Structure 1
Amino acid sequence: MPHMPPMQAWHVHQTGEPREVMRLEESVRPEPGEGQVLLKVRAASVNFPDALLCRGQYQVRPPLPFTPGVEICATAEDGRRVLTTCALPHGGFAEYALADAAALLPAPDALDDAEAAALHIAYQTGWFGLHRRARLRPGETLLVHAAAGGVGSAAVQLGKAAGARVIGVVGGPAKAETARALGCDLVIDRHSDDVVATVKQATEGRGADVVYDPVGGDAYTWSTKCVAFEGRIVVVGFSSGSIPSPALGHALVKNYSILGLHWGLYAARAPQTILECHGQLTALAEKGAIKPLVSDRVPLAAAVDAVQRVADGTTTGRVCVLPGLPSGNGTGAADGAGA
């Protein structure tokens, strides 16, 4: 086998805060295992799970050292432009990454590399949450927590594309501006507004038909107080760090549903549904109904700062790492006060 030139990759040798444990190092290109392929990374989207991986708090704990970066747009060895989730421990914050060959999806032509990288996890999660789990219908009211963040912004766009009235909850004026630009019909600043009272007023006391909650904690509590009769609360994650304990008696007397969503499980249990969803997302992207909000594109050398900002909740939309971008380049700082 010919000698392969080295590459640059971020490695985590011990768990902790991203800024403390991520190290940019020269290493050999990873060798694909059975059913895997080597990919040249074009763009890696920074997700909250990347921060959890660094902290050792994610449900998947790859062996140390590992390279974080769970989703990428990349070039396959046969020249195809693809998007996929990475096969850890060889994640996307590197010049080359590994993925399962069966997990490769064609990158939509309507999206650039960063947008394509940001399409996969958040939009698939949003699609499964809103359509397969909550059965969102045109004309219904959708309440999205952290509406200016990477996960929430996808749900906002998908909700609007489905014909729903979308109410977005954010933290701070800058995030509120972003949520309005995304298409929210009403934006609530949790720092200054009463979330429950505002939702009830906006819906003439009925409440939200579907709630999309990637936050947990107080956001979940507010949701139970302003969900409509026969409403559905989709539990997507717990970026607040607080996992609520549902009051099932309350769900019973108010007649609402609590729906869990673990998107990754579909790959194992119903992989065909992911392909079908990607087809739907590609069609929406081609006609301009959805377009991932990429607020910052940074070079590989700046990945640690990007992951830390996502961990701290100070970003809007998605921050993407582009290994081909020269150091010192970047577009659009993504700041704000919590999604």
Structure 2
Amino acid sequence: MRAVQITEFGGPEVVAVRDVPEPRPGAGQVLIDVARCGVNFADALLREDRYLASVTLPLIPGIEVVGRAADGRRLAAMISSGGYAEKAVAAEGGAFPVPDGVDDVAAVALLAQGLTAWWLINHTARVRPRESVVVHAAAGGVGSLAVQLARLRGARVIATASTPDKREFALSLGASAAVDPAADDLTEALYAANHGEPVDVVLEMTGGRVTDQSIAALAPFGRLAFYGMAGGVEPGLVSPRDLQRRSVTVSGFWLMNALARPEVLREAYAEMSGQVAAGELRVVHGGDHPMSDVRRVHADLRGRRTTGKLVLDPTR
């Protein structure tokens, strides 16, 4: 079968389409004929050997697929690797039925990105109605869904995005205000966007000064949920005494840990796919690309030239 394989770490040039053996499902697994596979920023980090988990080469990247099982079921599935391929093997517990009214791009977007956004809002940050929620990188895959899910929870959303077009896009998704994260004083900018008040929740995946100045913007009992470091710069040290002084919480989240709770993820996926089918949740299509264009897709992703959900078509 055709698949994308990485045999060395590096830039987009190290991803290549090759012929590889088909995977074989074991006990409790299902073989999926892949219609679309998702592309995530984590795939670029993995390719560069900067991912949270250790990686052994050669490797077929990709952690999310949608397609058909041999028995005809249409399934979307989270997998540990192997998604950039014509066929992929998934655990039955990590494969979710896809309802009518949810296209392939949306079905994939609700996996790593949708489940991350859902967990951050419902579990990690525990967003409540009428709270102010800052969503960094609001035009991205996780961010665009988090803006909408927070709003559906009754929160007031403040989005950040790097360009005027992306900030306008975040406003179109339901954000009440949009801020440039490169502002000289991001803390003050977030205060201003929240009518001069500190904020209740921050969903953060940039790192560096963005994390530090976001923590400074938290109100008493505020929560910052850290789920990535796209900027590549570690935040400064957080003082436990300062956290105590303001009764704020800084927590981390990695979706791989949530895979141990498939029943919760199944509930989350069913909830979000129902919202998509009902027109309540909008998945932003960021590009439906042939798998043969994977190097260009990775270059665009790493260069921050993408918006919404990117997918690969393994048949092309």
Q: Which residue of 2 aligns with 1:72?
A: 65
Instruction: Give the CA deviation at 1:101.
Output: 2.1
Query: Structure 1's 190 and 87: CA in aligned 2 closer, same or farther, altered over 3 A?
Result: closer
Q: Distance in 1 between matches of 2:53 and 2:25?
A: 20
2:252 to 229, 236, 260: 260
Q: Which runs of 5+ in 1 are unaligned?
A: 1-6, 327-339
Q: Out of 118, 125, 129, which is 2:109 matched to?
A: 118
Q: Which residue of 1 aligns with 2:38?
A: 45
Tell me the distance in 2 between the aligned counterparts of 1:52 and 1:301.
20
1:123-158 CA-partner distances (Å, limit 9, x unpaired): 111111111122211111110111111121111111
Match of 2:210 among 207, 219, 226: 219
Moved more, 153-162 or 59-68: 59-68
Deviations 1:71-118 (A, max 9, x none): 111211111111111242xx1211112211221101232221011111
Residue 177 (structure 1) aligned to one of 148, 168, 174: 168
Q: Are 1:60 and 2:56 an aligned pair? A: no
- Partner-residue secondary structure (3-state), 1:28: coil
Q: Does the C-alpha gap of structure 1 residues 193 and 280 become closer, same or farther in structure 2, counting only changes over 3 Å?
A: farther
Q: Is the 8 A contact 1:149 1:318 kept in 2?
A: yes
Q: Is the 8 A contact 1:151 1:214 kept in 2?
A: no
Displacement of 1:47 in angstroms is 0.5
Structure 1 residue corresponding to 2:147, chosen from 151, 156, 168: 156
Q: Which residue of structure 2 aligns with residue 14 of structure 1?
A: 8
What SS does the corresponding residue of 1:41 show, helix, strand or coil?
strand
Q: 1:98 to 1:308 in 2, by over 3 A?
A: farther
CA distance in 2, matches of 1:56, 1:108: 36
- Calculate the TM-score normalised by the size of structure 1: 0.88
Deviation at 1:62, TM superposition (A): 4.1
Q: Give the superposition deviation at 1:261.
A: 1.5
Contact in 1 for aligned 2:102/2:273 (Cα 8 Å)? no
Residues 87, 98 of structure 1: 8 Å contact kept: no
2:201 equivalent to 1:210: yes
CA distance in structure 2 between the partners assigned to 1:246 and 1:316 by the alignment:
31
- Where 2:259 maps in the other structure, the secondary structure is helix
Partner SS state of residue 246, structure 1: coil
- Letter of the 1:41 counterpart: V
Q: Contact 1:12 / 1:65 at 8 angstroms: preserved in 2?
A: yes
Letter in 2 for 1:57: R
| Partner in structure 2 of residue 85 of structure 1 | 78
AA aligned to 2:31 is L
Deviates more, 1:155-164 or 1:283-292: 283-292
Determine the structure 1 residue equivalent to 2:95.
Answer: 104
Equivalent position to 1:95, from 86, 105, 122: 86
Distance (Å, rounded) in 2 between the aligned partners of 1:284 and 1:36: 28
1:61 CA displacement: 3.4
Moved more, 57-66 or 231-240: 57-66
Q: When the two structures are superposed, what TM-score results if normalisation uses the length of structure 2? A: 0.94
Q: Is the 8 A contact 2:135 2:147 kept in 1?
A: yes
Which consecutive residues of structure 2, in runs of 5 or more, have no partner in the other structure? none
Mapped partners of 2:78, 2:55: distance in 1: 14
Shift of 1:233: 0.6
Residue 193 of structure 1 and its aligned partner are, at CA, apart by: 6.7
In structure 2, the residue matched to 1:334 is: none
Matches within 5 A, 1:119-134: 119-134=110-125
Q: 2:66–2:74: 8 Å Cα contact kept in structure 1?
A: yes
Counterpart AA for 2:244: L
**Per-residue CA distance 1:265-304 (angstroms, 9 max, x = gap):** 1222x33211222222123223222122112111111122
CA contact (8 A) 2:110 2:269 kept: no
Cα distance in 2, alignment partners of residues 154 and 21 from structure 1: 30
Distance 2:100 2:227 in 1: 28
SS in 2 for 1:221: helix
8 Å Cα contact 2:107/2:273 also seen in 1: no
**Alignment match, 2:21:** 28
Alignment partner of 2:280: what SS?
coil
Greater displacement, 276-285 / 154-163 = 276-285
Q: Deviation of residue 202 (structure 1)?
A: 2.9
Out of 177, 188, 194, the residue aligned to residue 179 of structure 2 is: 188
Asked whether 1:247 is paired with 2:239, we answer yes
Cα RMSD of the aligned pairs, angstroms, is 1.7
Alignment correspondent of 1:281? 272
SS in 1 for 2:224: strand
Paired-residue identity, %: 33
